[in-house]
A = this chain, B = another copy of it.
């Protein structure tokens, strides 16, 4: 069997293949290349120059509306930026702060005046800005931030103020050095009433001297575990006055006399609408994590395919690492996982583009998109850390050298799992949505829902699409139903007792959300297999999809068996099929399957995966033959 490499590569690159190629081309510029051991100073300076080059090439224009001079290409924008992770992850994140958060806040939360006044400078990076939402004391719970914006009708100004240390804005990219303004989230107070969190445009530094403006202070977050090309920092405000018009007033406005008005009556819905515009950060993290995982496996699998260690037996030649059963177990199910992540991300990106282009933009579509992103981003970002770590270990000491990229890449991506929505918090959001959907279904047909618990055990061949779908769907649904049943008494209790009951099942709810996300990945993978035309490619992808599906089942066997959804004999058969059938097929095509990611050697970078180890093995082999001849 031979894989149709070009066809598979095109499918993996997806709808915005050209934008991805553009991103990869940019990622190969010298200014993007990571320099092992560069200081924080050098790293920040290089990343700053990279953003200037991005703006010069108008990559920064992609997501802004044509009305503002942009290209309005939402999906293509994300696709292009995701690829820059292959060069230096700091660049995509600093760009994301500048254009995806700071600029996007002005665009999505502001109105025409704001767009006209600031967007051009934002796009051209003449106005670098920070996105000041998170506070030291409040990250996930944005609604409870402490910063206040109190309206003063006498001067028609808002007074931005930080009441205590925990309310300092923190971890903000562009805040430590380069930001000259910030979109600051604060509790809007007017006429003595708090209308909840709104966003304000606040100048923070003098354009010439880069010194803080009066009343503004801050600190550098200093060295981080990675991503040190981004100048994260803290900001605080001591009664800083800004004009009334600096309120980004699309979803809430204050009249000169202090009267508050909003197109959205519900305070809660207004808050979630404002935050919802930021979903693109989560979408892009899902994609960039997937790209980084592709790179990690490319390095580890190419190395494992040439590196030899230990003879297979007396007199036998040394064995290539990838021929070891344990090594296959370490890398190949993760390869299947990256394929699942890749196909699932493409579907998420298509959905995102539908909503943000306005082609399918209503409340329901937005909520579905947010749930979809909240389900996938945790799974892919955690998987990427796991994959980069396993890849690093699979390359041994060589994997620890900075030149081979795995360790620094993992260090940079570490923060992916807790920023732009902490993974556990996001999965809890998904879980709550699943509970709501379940409650609706229960209301519509309580008997049907209850009967689920008596539904027969899913049957069929373990490698059949129908069986895997039935089992994974059944699991996801049943886990939600179990939590729903356990929470039923909570509704009748006092709030504190209800919270305690919920709390006891929080872990199970998050597990249910994870199962839901895994099902989404499996479905996306299956759709991609179904859409594959080349017969041999389809066979290999089917084996890879089976490896993904059966690995999920093997990992979840404890739950499945304890709920009698899988028999003991079939659980053992899952492991036997993985080891005996699937790993041999996938091993045979493993190098092609990473070649299909199409990452050029210039972007792989790691010497061990781009020829150095192959040359060493060749030389060692020749030396052994020469010795044998003598």
Contacts and interface: CB of A to CB of B under 8 A. Distances in A.
Given A316-B499, A619-B165, A507 B407 contact: no
Interface in A123-180: 134, 136-141, 144, 146, 163-167, 170-171
Q: Is the interface of A mostly helix, strand, loop or mixed?
A: helix
Contact of A309 (B139, B308, B312, B415): B139
B37 A507 contact: no
Contact of A397 (B39, B170, B428, B559): B170
Contacts of A136: 398, 616
Given A224-B400, A315-B495, A316-B496, A385 B389 contact: yes
B139 A397 contact: yes
A253 interface: no
Interface in A372-421: 385, 389, 392-393, 396-403, 406-408, 410-411, 414-415, 417-419
A414 B399 CA distance: 10
Given A309-B141, A407-B224, A507-B579, A558 B568 contact: no
B506 A221 contact: no
A498 interface: yes
A163 B330 CA distance: 33
B146 A623 contact: yes
Q: Of A414, A417, A556, A562, which is in contact with the most chain B CB atoms at under 10 Å from its CB?
A: A562
Given A579-B504, A580-B504, A616-B166, A224 B401 contact: yes
Contact of A225 (B165, B221, B400, B560): B400
A397 B510 CA distance: 21
A549 B620 CA distance: 48
Interface in A539-585: 554-564, 568-569, 571-572, 579-580
Interface in A211-236: 221-226
Contacts of A504: 325, 579-580
B171 A397 contact: yes
Nearest to A163: B623
A505 interface: yes
A166 B617 contact: yes
B563 A561 contact: no
A324 B419 contact: no
A503 interface: yes
B397 A134 contact: yes
A398 B506 CA distance: 23
Interface in A310-337: 310-316, 318, 323-326, 329-330
A322 to B, nearest CB: 12
Interface of A: 36-37, 39-40, 134, 136-141, 144, 146, 163-167, 170-171, 221-226, 308-316, 318, 323-326, 329-330, 385, 389, 392-393, 396-403, 406-408, 410-411, 414-415, 417-419, 422-424, 428, 495-496, 498-499, 503-507, 510, 554-564, 568-569, 571-572, 579-580, 615-617, 619-620, 622-623
25 contacts: A137-B308, A139-B309, A139-B396, A140-B396, A144-B310, A144-B318, A164-B620, A164-B622, A165-B615, A222-B402, A224-B407, A225-B400, A225-B402, A225-B407, A226-B407, A312-B495, A314-B495, A316-B496, A393-B417, A399-B418, A555-B558, A557-B558, A561-B568, A561-B571, A563-B572
